[in-house]
Structure 1
Amino acid sequence: MLENSYLVWEGASLIDASPIFLVLTGFVYPTPNRRTGRLLQSWILQQEFLPTYAAKQGFDTGICGTCTLKMSQTGSCYVQLGYLNNIYRKYIAGTYPKFGAKEIGIIERYRYPIRIGSYGDPTAVPFDVWEPIILASNKWTGYSHFWSHCDERWKKYLMASVQTSSEAKQAQHQGWRTFRIIAPDAPLSNNEILCRNAEDDRTRCEDCFLCDGSSSKPNIADRVHGLNWKVSNFVKYVNQH
């Protein structure tokens, strides 16, 4: 019987060697995330800390690296952490079935699209864990803030997640396509287009897939979104840089 969620991997983070784990959700019940639509979601969490606690205390380096959006830094990460606490509790209780070849086959048969890193940086998990899932899916979106230090093979699948024009130029110079979060009234760079959902909220990731790593597609910018106080924190940050 197909389950909705699976434990894919657990081990040492490639960012700081702390114990982390990866869970895939959405096989049966689609995500409520209206922006993405029906993509499998992937969650990378610390093994030793409740997500809300880890984020508040800055114990999330193993999954988020030095991302400037973290709650312990600018406090502008758009992810709602309460839901992640439920995933963590199920992991601690040992109720997730293990992901394996059977589930890879299901993804390949039905071509489930996947969001690589719904929370947590995908590059914290070994590339060889991810690639069979990505290839089976054949459709994905994904981003990394750790682009300057990660396995070069990730350029095929991930966008470099950046917050400033200078960061974007640096990442592009290194061969990455970029995804830049911008303030609500900020202009686009010459080589960027606006996220299609920002232009028309009826367009979802499952309709688009522009954010799929290296290709001839343009770089993407998206207006900051989320709770008002997080948006305000982000605007303050970019105005200082």
Structure 2
Amino acid sequence: MLENSYIVWEGASLIDGSPIVLILTGFAYPSSNRRTGRQIQSWIIQQNFAPTYAAKYGFDRGVCGSCRLKLSETGSCYVNLLTANNVYRSYIAGNYPKFSDKELTVLQHYRYPVRIGSYGDATAIPFNVWEPIISASGKHTGYTHQHKNCDRTWKKYLMASVETETQARQAQSQGWRTFRIIAPDATLSDNEILCRNTEDDRIQCETCLLCDGASSKPNICDCIHGFKWKVSNFLKYLESTSN
């Protein structure tokens, strides 16, 4: 019987060597995330700490790297860590079976798009772990804040996640397409478009798939969203970068 969630890989983070795990969810029951739609979700989590605890005390470097949006930095990451906590609790309880060729066959048959990094940076996991999953699905979205340091192979599959126009230009000059988080009243650059879901919430990631890495597609921007205090923290961070 097909389970909903699977442990794909456990090992040392490529970012800092700490023990992390990659878990895929959404095989039997679609995600309730209205923005992403029917995507297989992927969770990169510290093995020894619940995501909320790791985020609060700065033990999340192994999965979040140098991202300035995390709680221990600017406190403006839009990820709901309570959902990641639920995944972690099930993992610790031993509720998830190991991922196998059978699940790869399911991906090949149904071609469910994969969200590379629902929580955590995909580049913390060896690329050869991801490659058969991406190939089997054939469709994906994904982002990385580690674009300056990660395996260059990821340019083909991930967007460089940035917050300022300067960061965007730097990443683009190195061959990355960019995904820039912006303030609600920000002006887009000539080579950027607004996230299609932000323009029309009937458009979901599972069908849009613009955020799929290197191609001739435009760079993407999206307005900061999430809890009000996170939005406020992000706007303060942007202000500090302009001073």
1:204-236: CA deviation from partner (whole Å, max 9, x where unpaired) = 101200000000000000011111110111011
Tell me by how many angstroms 1:163 deviates. 0.4
SS at match of 1:45: strand
Cross-structure match for 2:4? 4
Deviation per residue, 1:146-192 (Å, 9 max, x gap): 01100010011000000011110110011000000000111001110
Tell me which residue corresponds to 1:90.
Answer: 90
User: What is the one-letter code of the residue matched to 2:121?
Assistant: D
Say yes or no: does 1:218 pair with 2:218.
Answer: yes
For residue 181 of structure 1, give the secondary structure of its aligned residue in structure 2.
Answer: strand
What amino acid is the match of 1:239? E
- Provide the C-alpha distance between the structure 1 equivalents of 2:143 and 2:202, rounded to a whole number of angstroms: 22
Report the equivalent of 1:170. 170
Following TM superposition, the consecutive aligned residue runs of length 4 or more in structure 1 with deviations greater than 3 angstroms are: none
Alignment of 1:56-95 (within 5 A): 56-95=56-95
The one-character-per-residue Cα deviations of 1:48-71 (angstroms, maximum 9, x if unpaired) are 111110000010000000100001
Give per-residue Cα distances to partners, 1:87-139, cap 9 Å, x unaligned.
Answer: 11111122210001111111001101110000000000000000100011011
Compute the displacement of 1:83 (Å): 1.6
In structure 1, the gaps of 5 or more residues are: none
Identity in percent: 70
Give the TM-score of the pair, scaled to structure 2. Answer: 0.98
TM-score for the superposition, normalised by structure 1: 0.99
Q: In the alignment, which residue of structure 1 is the partner of 2:132? A: 132
Q: Which amino acid aligns with 1:117?
A: G
- Whole-angstrom distance in 2 between the partners of 1:185 and 1:144: 24
Q: Does 1:23 align with 2:11?
A: no
Q: CA deviation at 1:86?
A: 1.6
- SS at the partner of 1:66? coil
Q: Does the residue aligned with 2:66 lie in a helix, a strand or coil?
A: coil
State how 1:116-127 maps to structure 2 within 5 Å. Answer: 116-127=116-127
Distance across 2 between alignment mates of 1:29 and 1:113: 14
Cα RMSD of the aligned pairs, angstroms, is: 0.6
- 1:54 match: 54
Spell out, residue by residue over 1:11-65, the C-alpha distance to the aligned partner (whole angstroms, 9 max, x if none). 0000000000010000011111100011000000001111110000010000000
Can you give the 5+ residue segments of structure 2 that lack an aligned partner in the other structure? none
Which letter maps to 1:181?
I
Structure 1 partner of 2:102:
102
- Determine the C-alpha separation between the residues in 1 that align with 2:95 and 2:198: 37
Inter-partner Cα distance in structure 2 for 1:177 and 1:52 = 30
TM-superposed deviation, 1:240: 1.3
